[in-house]
């Protein structure tokens, strides 16, 4: 199969869809790899590394049967996609329904890497988890750089320095990586999650798990969190208000698929925090867990630094690309046959759950539901 790897054009995106390691394996399996000139340079993968792996360096990688990208295609890139082309990327189709509709109209077979089902067999393909690992790690480094304190306890000639205290909100992949990284740097860490089932994982990393009786569990389908009732949300905010006053660092990771991020750190909490405290909001792109977060910006309010940078994986593009590339290769392994033929195999639950458009239609049930108009409000 002819596989194209274009250079990402979304502002700030430095990752690449496939790295030389993966390209080499695909080439040895009989596929023709076309990599756009300079596609991997920002990720520290030069063109000659791709050539050595068996790829052809081209000026237009969209002239392929399958296109492997990181970010969703821009309008200009959509215009290059031909009918029948297979596209793999982070499409975020639940919030980009117009994109899904356009890809269907162009008869593109689109697979979204953020739609990989959360089942055991699909773990090697779970790009959301691999990129969340990068984000959780980098969030702690950003906090350490912004905090005017040491992370670890130090015994010095000038006396003992107390360790920093960190609160991690959300114990998914990003949160667990943040806990582990903060602990490695020497901070005292506590974590909160609405899903009691993650308590053991938090404690295994050496952090304290904050417990509260919410009257319900925040565990949703597929291991994701779900939206809490108004009363349960009030209880968790009260708990976090107390924790915010006691910690030097807060890293928030709470997200609900296809929904605005829940506000957990209110604007009223900020003045009560210690001067010099740092919040790193990993939910900034979907509205932020901190009420005052500004997506893409770092601001200071009442002496508290609030970091709302988006796309943290792109700040560590070498390993982020490497992990994403392996995710894509694992997914392709379900569809590329030994003779080089491509079989979409919609009978496979992973493939079926990942395909958004095919044959001129939107075929993903979740996306079709998101595209339906909201029911009209009934007035008395």
Active-site residue list: 118, 123, 126, 129, 224
Q: How far is CA 321 from the centre of its chain?
A: 13
C-alpha torsion 57→61→64→69, nearest 10 = 120
Measured from the Cβ of residue 365, the count of other Cβ atoms closer than 10 Å reads: 10
Handedness of CA 270, 275, 277, 279 (dihedral sign): positive
* Per-residue H/E/C for 244-278: HHHCCEEEECCCCCCCCCCCCECCCCHHHCCCCCE
DSSP secondary structure letters along 202-238: HHHTT-EEP----SS--B-GGG-B-PPPHHHHHHHHH
The single residue listed with the structure tokens 């602990």 is 183
Question: What do you get for the CA distance between the two ends of the chain, in Å?
Answer: 60
CB 35 within 8 A of CB 5: yes
């Amino acid at each position: 199969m002819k596989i194209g790897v274009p250079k990402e054009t979304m502002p700030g995106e430095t990752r690449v869809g496939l790295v030389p390691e993966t390209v080499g394996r695909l080439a040895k399996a009989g596929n023709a790899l076309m990599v756009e000139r300079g596609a991997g340079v920002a990720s520290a993968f030069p063109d000659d590394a791709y050539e050595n792996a068996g790829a052809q360096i081209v000026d237009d990688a969209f002239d392929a049967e399958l296109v492997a990208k990181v970010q969703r295609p821009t309008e200009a890139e959509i215009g290059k996609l031909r009918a029948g082309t297979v596209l793999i990327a982070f499409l975020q189709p639940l919030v980009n329904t117009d994109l899904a509709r356009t890809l269907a109209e162009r008869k593109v077979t689109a697979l979204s890497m953020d739609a990989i089902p959360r089942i055991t067999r699909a773990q090697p393909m779970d790009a959301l988890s691999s990129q969340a690992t990068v984000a959780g790690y980098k969030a702690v480094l950003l906090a350490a750089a912004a905090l005017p304190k040491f992370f670890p306890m130090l015994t010095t000639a000038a006396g003992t320095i107390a360790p920093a205290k960190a609160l991690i909100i959300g114990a998914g992949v990003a949160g667990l990586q943040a806990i582990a990284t903060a602990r490695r740097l020497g901070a005292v860490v506590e974590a909160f999650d609405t899903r009691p089932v993650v308590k053991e994982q938090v404690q295994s990393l050496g952090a304290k798990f904050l417990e509260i009786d919410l009257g319900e569990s925040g565990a949703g389908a597929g291991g994701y969190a779900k939206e809490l009732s108004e009363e349960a949300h009030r209880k968790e905010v009260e708990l976090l208000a107390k924790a915010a006053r006691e910690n030097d660092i807060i890293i928030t990771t709470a997200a609900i698929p296809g929904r605005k991020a829940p506000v957990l750190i209110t604007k009223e909490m900020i003045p009560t925090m210690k001067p010099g405290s740092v919040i790193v909001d990993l939910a900034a792109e979907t509205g932020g867990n901190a009420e005052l977060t500004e997506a893409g910006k770092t601001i200071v309010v009442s002496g508290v630094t609030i970091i709302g940078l988006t796309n943290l994986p792109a700040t560590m593009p070498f390993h982020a690309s490497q992990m994403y590339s392996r995710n894509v290769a694992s997914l392709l392994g379900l569809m590329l046959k030994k003779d080089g033929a491509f079989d979409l195999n919609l009978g496979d639950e992973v493939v079926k759950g990942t395909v958004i458009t095919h044959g001129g239609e939107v075929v993903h049930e979740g996306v079709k539901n998101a595209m339906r108009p909201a029911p009209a409000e009934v007035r008395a």
